Amino acid sequence: MTTEKTQIENYGRSAFELTGHARCRMDQRNFSQREVAYVIRYGKLLRRTGICFYFLAGKDVPPADRKLGWVQRLIGVTVLMTPERAAIITLYKNQKALRDIKKKNKFRSTRTSTTQNICHMESKSCQIEWQSSQAA
């Protein structure tokens, strides 16, 4: 997994690095660094399959922010981070993601090599797409 030098400021805390895949997904899904930092700050943290999941539900949003349009758009966003919370792996939006995340095993099974290969191939294809769109 390659990480870019891009870092996200986390409301005065230490910055997070973005993997190339995360940067690609942010661009595809039109999320800013500020929005990702907001999800990490206010979202619910779940540790499953050796990964940190941050899920932002409506009840997690502070009352003062609930009427802001850009915050409303973030409800249902999930950010996946490395176990040591140093880098963002990817992000997606799914209102029902919390239910699916809770069903996951707490730890990875020993059969992860196929999954890792698929993720690696997806990450490479995403980087190629992202680089070609930047060149155009």
Rounded CA Rg of the chain: 15
Residue with the two structure tokens 């029902």: 96
Which pLDDT does position 8 carry in this prediction? 59
Q: Are strands 87-93 and 13-19 parallel, antiparallel or unpaired?
A: parallel
Which pLDDT does position 79 carry in this prediction? 94
Burial classification of residue 13, based on how many CB atoms lie within 10 Å of its CB (0-12 exposed, 13-18 middle, 19 or more buried):
exposed
Which residue type is seen at 107? F
Ordered mean pLDDT values, 10 residues apiece, the chain (136 residues)? 51 71 93 92 89 92 93 93 88 83 68 47 49 51
Which pLDDT does position 114 carry in this prediction? 42
Which pLDDT does position 86 carry in this prediction? 83
Domain positions in the chain are: 3-135
Which pLDDT does position 107 carry in this prediction? 64
Cα separation, 76 vs 58, in Å, equals 8
| Among 102, 93, 87, CA closest to 75 | 93
Which pLDDT does position 15 carry in this prediction? 75
Cα 34 off chain centre by: 13
